[in-house]
């Protein structure tokens, strides 16, 4: 069981470049999330997906797009990167709650720098 995996772990982009952050989970969870973490700001929700085929905006969706390719994968795309998007990005998935657990499992994060 790999849990939640993210690629890449590190990335440097120039302003205006685009890229896609990949996330996959092997726990058969329905819900998946993308958060960004900046110093002093905690974890801010960008987008989430409650089930395959659905996506919803979080707190800070501007400048991002997402795609829930299938139950396992949830990708985050930056179409035109800006320095304000320099951050650590975490993907997470939520256990189903059949046992009233509802635990979020986080990936290791992607450190993105936009110059």
| Cα–Cα distance list, 96 to 13, 38, 51 (Å) | 36, 28, 11
Window 14 to 33, contacts with other proteins (CB under 8 A): 30-31, 33
- Which one among 17, 44, 63, 71 touches other proteins, defined by CB under 8 A? 44
- Which one among 35, 64, 74, 89 touches other proteins, defined by CB under 8 A? 35
- Which one among 23, 94, 112, 114 touches other proteins, defined by CB under 8 A? 94
Exposed, middle or buried by CB within 10 Å (0-12, 13-18, 19+), for 97?
exposed
DSSP 45-110: EEEEESSTT--EE-S--TTEEEEE-SSSBEEEEESS--GGG-EEEEEEEE---TTS---EEE---E
Residues in binding contact with other proteins, number by CB under 8 A: 27
- Which one among 19, 27, 45, 69 touches other proteins, defined by CB under 8 A? 45
Shortest Å, Cβ 18 to other proteins: 25
Map tokens 């819900």 to a residue.
31
Interacting residues with other proteins (CB under 8 A): 30-31, 33, 35, 40-45, 48, 50, 56, 58-59, 90, 94, 100-109
């Amino acid at each position: 069981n790999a849990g939640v995996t993210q690629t890449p772990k590190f990335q440097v982009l120039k302003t205006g470049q685009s890229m896609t952050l990949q996330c996959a989970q092997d726990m058969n969870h329905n819900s998946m999330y993308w958060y960004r973490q900046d110093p002093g700001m905690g974890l801010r929700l960008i987008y989430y997906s409650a089930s395959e085929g659905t996506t919803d905006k979080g707190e800070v969706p501007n400048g991002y797009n997402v795609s829930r390719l299938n139950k396992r994968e949830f990708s985050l795309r930056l179409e035109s990167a800006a320095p304000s998007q320099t951050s650590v990005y975490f993907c997470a998935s939520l256990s189903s709650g059949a046992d009233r657990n509802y635990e979020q499992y986080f990936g290791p994060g992607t450190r993105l720098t936009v110059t």
